[in-house]
Amino acid sequence: MTVIIDGESLTIDELVRVARHGEQVELSEAALDGILASRDVIESALRGHKTVYGVNTGFGDLADVTIEADDVAKLQVNLIRSHSVGVGDPFSEEVVRGMMLLRANALAKGFSGVRLDLIETLLEMLNNGVTPVVPQKGSVGSSGDLAPLAHMALVLIGEGNATFDGKTYSGAEAMQKAGITPICLQAKEGVALINGTQPMCALGALVVYDALELVRNSSIAAAMSLEALRGTRRAFDEKVHLVRRHEGQLEVARTMLGILRDSEINKSHADCGKVQDAYSLRCIPQVLGASLDTIRYVQSVLNIEINSATDNPLVFADGADVISGGNFHGQPIALVMDFLGIALAEIANISERRINRLVNPHLSALPPFLTTEGGLESGMMIAQYTAAALVSENKVLAHPASVDSIPTSADQEDHVSMGTIAARKAREILENVQNVIAIEFMCAAQGIDLLSPLKPSNPLSSALASIRKVVTMLTDDRPLHKDISEIRLLMQNGVIVKEVEKITGALYTD
């Protein structure tokens, strides 16, 4: 399949297909007229000796400096070189591919004044596997993600560094090996490449995509824990949730009932007299549902942003107008990335409490620390420590980046978003939560096995079987880090969810 970009209709699913799975990209013919018309406005302004910010002026606090006609092209190259000041570990290839796709899509809207050749070269790089090396740190998220996008643009002009065919080369070498001719930037093109929110958006979109998959896994893990702890299903009765009507809460409650269904374990404690469970079991729909609603809200903001024109100035061919504005400002993304990090952290918080109940014999009515040789063996005691460490780390990471601002460019840029920092933190929180849910799966699977010969619901039996293909029941102490890693890999590959959905149907719709 091929993803067609037109600046208007790109989806997060398509971004993932290109960024993560290497799908090819083409420019829609419908976008050509707008691209060409906006370029004509820039060419006309130059012929008419008009002063246009970023075309024949300096940048930021140097906007009042006029650039001579002979230096207009050099100005754009200098801009890319001078703004390539990122530090730290590079972004993953999928994030960089995502930002390349998003930048091409934004330019395709026809409000940037760039030549068609520039967009086509960016797509050639994507389609032939030339991925710029882009350091993660250095963006304050206003005037766009200047430093990351500058590192991306360096390779476009045959400089910087890039990966190709699994190896890192100079930008010139990578382009040569891929058979791509670097671009010689012309008026407006440098600033059009680096004024935008594409790094924070690419990272954010990938996190949102993975977060929705995490909700599915979290629901199954929570159901396994409830089964192992012999909890009641009564709290998931639709009547309870219809009188509150939060969409996510209703969906999670329905999903839990679909996963749990009838089981031998459930029937075994039907007359136990227990009327309610602890909050970490009873309030699964309320807590996980609130996180689901938040993730979907973040998704809706990103769906707008990934199809937006975010550079400066913007070129309006209708009226031949060039306007300096502030669409590059990352505030919409900064706020929702912080919100996303908080929502993800809560998924881990409640999961860790269920893990604690599973390993604590005073709460679980299961063998201490899920081992039959307590004392001689520690079983899964320390797995809960790891989960506790991860959720505590998340509490630090969940502090919002977007409440901070620090002036740049001699106070010309006196409020910034910190959106890329917020997105990076959301990704780190997501990875911690994935590990916590993997630990919950590991402990809940052990708990269910310890209830044998009683069997869980059919969907959970399928989930358990998929886990047991890679992680055996714990009978003697062993290093559990590999078990956690194997289960996390199952989660990331969608294996557990697919096995459950064969029986239940789709757990959630995106």
Please indicate, yes or no, whether the overall pTM of this predicted structure exceeds 0.75: yes
Integer Cα distance of 242 and 457 in angstroms: 25
Q: What angle do CA 267, 271, 275 make, to 5 degrees?
A: 105
The β-bridge partners of 374 are 377
- Asked if 413 and 142 touch (Cβ cutoff 8 Å), the reply is yes
Per-residue pLDDT at 272: 67
CA dihedral sign, ordered 315, 326, 209, 90: positive
**Looking at domain 203-309+325-406+415-504, does it have CATH number 1.10.3210.10?**
no
Per-residue pLDDT at 45: 84
- Asked if 177 and 127 touch (Cβ cutoff 8 Å), the reply is no
Could you tell me the residue ranges of all domains in the chain? 2-196, 203-309+325-406+415-504
Per-residue pLDDT at 408: 83
The β-bridge partners of 137 are 87
Identity at 45, one-letter amino acid code: A
- Asked if 12 and 208 touch (Cβ cutoff 8 Å), the reply is yes
Per-residue pLDDT at 227: 96
Q: What secondary structure does DSSP assign to 211-246, as a single string?
A: HHHHHHHHHHHHHHHHHHTT--SGGG-HHHHHTT--
CATH class of 2-196: mainly alpha
- Asked if 31 and 109 touch (Cβ cutoff 8 Å), the reply is yes
Per-residue pLDDT of the chain (510 residues; tens, 9 = 90+): 899 999 999 999 999 999 999 999 999 999 999 999 999 999 988 888 887 777 777 666 666 777 787 788 888 999 999 999 999 999 999 999 999 999 999 999 999 999 999 999 999 999 999 999 999 999 998 888 999 999 999 999 999 999 999 999 999 999 999 999 999 999 999 999 999 999 999 999 999 999 999 999 999 999 999 999 999 999 999 999 999 999 999 999 999 999 998 899 988 877 666 778 999 999 999 999 999 999 999 999 999 999 999 998 999 999 888 898 999 999 999 999 999 999 999 999 999 999 999 999 999 999 999 998 888 999 999 999 999 999 999 999 999 999 998 888 877 777 889 999 999 999 999 999 999 999 999 999 999 999 999 999 999 999 999 999 999 999 999 999 999 999 999 999 999 999 999 999 999 987
For 186-245, what is each residue's pLDDT tens digit? 999 999 999 999 999 999 999 999 999 999 999 999 999 999 999 999 999 999 999 999
Tell me how crowded residue 380 is: count the other CB atoms within 10 A of its CB: 23
Per-residue pLDDT at 31: 97
Rounded to whole angstroms, what are the CA distances from 505 to 12, 307, 461, 498? 23, 32, 15, 9
Q: Which residues are catalytic?
A: 53
161-166: long-range contacts (C-beta < 8 A, 24 or more apart)? Answer: 161/132, 161/133, 162/130, 162/131, 162/132, 162/133, 163/93, 163/130, 163/131, 163/133, 164/129, 164/130, 164/131, 165/129
Torsion of Cα atoms, 10 then 30 then 107 then 34, to 10°: -140
- Asked if 142 and 329 touch (Cβ cutoff 8 Å), the reply is yes
Per-residue pLDDT at 56: 78
